[in-house]
Every structure is written in C-alpha cells, then in structure tokens.
Amino acid sequence: MAEKPDGAEQPVLEALGLVKAFSPNGGPGFEVLRGVDLTLHRGEMAAIVGPSGSGKSTLLHCLGLMDDPTGGELSLFGRPARGMPEVDRSRLRNEAIGFVFQFDSMLPEFTFLENVAMPGLLRGAPARQALERSRELLAAFGLEGLAPRFPRHSSGGERQRAAIARALHNRPALVLADEPTGNLDRPNGELVFKDLRRLASEFGAAVAVVTHNEAAAASCDRVHHLRDGRILEGVPGGPRP
C-alpha cells in the first residue's frame, strides 16, 4: 500500500477551470483545454474518454506536470502546481506520480528486472534495494518469470503490464495512463485494465486513464467525457468485473 502524503483527506488531484492554449509559429493562439474541472481521490480510478483531438493527452500532460496550463488552477496533494519551480515539478513527478503510456518504453538493453527498477535508480536508491523492489512488483502482478528476460523476447501485453509495475516503483499516490491498451489485442487490453484497477483498489493510488475504449472505461469508478476541450460529464462507471 502506498504511503499517504500529508493532507490525505484532500483530493490527490484537483483541477478547476484548467485552460491550455497553443500559439504555433507565433500565430493566433487556440485553446485545446477550455475550462476543465476534475477531482481525483486516493483509491479511485477515473477514465477520460473522447474523440481524437479533444484534448485528452494534453490534459494528462498538464495533470502530470509535463506541461504547464495557461489558465485555471491545478493542485496536487494540496499544493498549487501552476508556476511551481521546475526543480520541484521534477521532484514531484519522480516521487509521487507514476506514468503509463501507449508505448511501454522499455529500454531494450536492460532486463525486465532492471527496467522496473529504473525509477528507483533514477531517484538515487541503492541498486540492491531498487532491484528487490522491482522483483516484488513483478511478483505482485504474476510477472516474476519476466525478471531475467529482455523486452524484445516478450509480447506487447507483457511489456505493458511490466510498465504498470514500473510505474508503481516509487509508491506514487497518482498514476496517469495515456491509451495504455491502444496497441494491444482485447485479451491483453483487459489484463492491463485489470492491473490498473488494482493500482487503485489494492495499492491505494489515484488513477486517471485516457482511453478510446468506452467499454473498458465503464469499469472505472467514474467516466469523464471530454469534448472540444471541456468535460461534459463525470458519471459513475459500471460494475467492476
């Protein structure tokens, strides 16, 4: 179970009127996000669905401090995130936020054991400690057999599930997943969504998943529909399998 940060009664993430505008090549600006409200608590899994170009990935990048919104308010763990110094943003990303992307980004020259240990190693943890944590996480997801193997010798589903284990390495309170099943067939996609649900239900993380798969999204606690840069609704999800 992830350790609770200070202010655990507060939302892990809270966005109010979030705006993101771009001005390509110095031309007129246009808003991709046009006033998004979103709140996420520990142990909760929320899906963000919508058509291509609706701003889903842009929203996730802002929530994960990989990009800075141009308007509105964003708080993580009770701390205002807009205007936060980059050194603090980087530390928060590394220590408190886990990321899972459409492409697993496994480093081909390292084994799965080493790949899953990478967030701890980058944080400065002793190698032995980081590798032991990696071994525990692989076992927790039934992937212990992958430990000595290299990514090129495994399936896309195995790599993506290992990427979820990697996202948990530093015990993040927030996990953000961007189209994590986009390159997988249905059976592997269902396994990945099951693993993501475990991050909330068993590990206590707040999980936000961007997806085109509305059937999978319905298994989340809440479903947010993003259209033209705005969230139209946040409705309860369906029963979990």
Distance CA 192, CA 143 (A): 13
Query: In this structure, are residues 151 and 115 in contact, taking their beta carbons and an 8 Å threshold?
Result: yes
pLDDT at position 216, please? 83
The confidence band for 18, taking pLDDT boundaries of 50, 70 and 90, is very high
- CA max distance for the chain: 53
Tens-digit pLDDT profile for residues 82-121: 888 999 998 888 889 999 988 878 999 999 999 999 999 9
The confidence band for 174, taking pLDDT boundaries of 50, 70 and 90, is very high
Distance CA 29, CA 221 (A): 35
Tens-digit pLDDT profile for residues 205-221: 999 999 988 888 888 99
Tens-digit pLDDT profile for residues 117-171: 999 998 899 999 999 999 999 999 999 999 999 999 999 999 999 999 999 999 9
pLDDT at position 1, please? 35
Tens-digit pLDDT profile for residues 194-205: 999 999 999 999
Q: Domains in the chain, ordered, with CATH?
A: 42-67+86-236 (3.40.50.300)
DSSP letter, residue 2: P
Residues 6+ apart with CB under 8 A from 181: 160, 188, 189, 192, 193, 211, 213, 216
Evaluate if pTM is beyond 0.75.
yes
pLDDT at position 241, please? 45
